[in-house]
Chain A
Amino acid sequence: DVKVTQSSRYLVKRTGEKVFLECVQDMDHENMFWYRQDPGLGLRLIYFSYDVKMKEKGDIPEGYSVSREKKERFSLILESASTNQTSMYLCASSSDPRVRGYTFGSGTRLTVV
């Protein structure tokens, strides 16, 4: 069974901390994505990557960065966590988003206090 694994299910961090959210996929997909999900707002794209060491900004990249050193791993970094970054973070991967859609991880619920 193919998988996208997010390392933490729940995280609580303090304001100002540097936070790393890790995502690993075992499907050899080129394309990986980070979304945040908030009630009433749906899913909003933060960053995506179409290849190793490649990254592109999504719709809401401010306050975030990403790293993709290996094909299977895509990390989301909150440089200095703030309370407005409290959210559910979803990682996804795809071999072809146009026709195959995404495979999502189970999500990381981050609370910044």
Chain B
Amino acid sequence: AQSVTQLDSQVPVFEEAPVELRCNYSSSVSVYLFWYVQYPNQGLQLLLKYLSGSTLVKGINGFEAEFNKSQTSFHLRKPSVHISDTAEYFCAVSVFSGGYQKVTFGTGTKLQVIP
């Protein structure tokens, strides 16, 4: 069975500083990887995804993530955060299991951008 670990439940960072949100996964088969963002009182929105090819993927709102197969990681980064980036971020892994595409989410990381 696959699993996703987001080690940091909360990450405070000053405005215009860089940020990295960590995600590690475990799976015995090939995976597809996603990051979602949830703004207060809203549903989740897809930020970016890794399917294959280049290990550095770019998403919306200036975010990017790097897939590292040897370290089974998919960390999310932004070089300079804005107040509007304050939200909860979820990493997710998708594998084919039991005849279906099964998606497992991490427990989320709350990013708090401090003015």
| Residue positions of A touching B, CB distance < 8 A | 4, 35, 40-43, 45, 48, 50, 56, 90, 92, 96-99, 101-107
Contact = CB atoms under 8 A, between A and B. Distances in A.
B108 A101 contact: no
A101 B49 contact: yes
Given A104-B45, A106-B43, A99 B106 contact: no
Contacts of B103: 45, 97, 102
B17 interface: no
B100 A43 contact: no
A97 B42 contact: no
Interface in B27-62: 32, 34, 36, 41-46, 49, 51
Interface in B55-110: 90, 92, 94, 96, 100-101, 103, 105-108
B43 A104 contact: yes
Residue from A40, A50, A90, A104 with most neighbouring chain B CB atoms (10 Å) = A104
Interface size band for B: 20 to 34
23 contacts: A35-B105, A40-B9, A41-B107, A42-B90, A42-B106, A42-B108, A43-B90, A90-B43, A90-B44, A92-B44, A97-B94, A98-B32, A98-B96, A99-B49, A99-B51, A101-B34, A102-B36, A102-B46, A104-B36, A104-B44, A105-B43, A106-B42, A106-B43
A18 B51 CA distance: 41
A55 to B, nearest CB: 12
A101 B105 contact: no
A109 to B, nearest CB: 9
Nearest to B34: A101
A42 B3 CA distance: 12
Contacts of A92: 43-44
Nearest to B49: A101
A4 B42 CA distance: 12
Contacts of A99: 32, 49, 51
Contact of B105 (A4, A40, A43, A50): A43
A13 B103 CA distance: 30
A23 B88 CA distance: 23
A4 B43 contact: yes
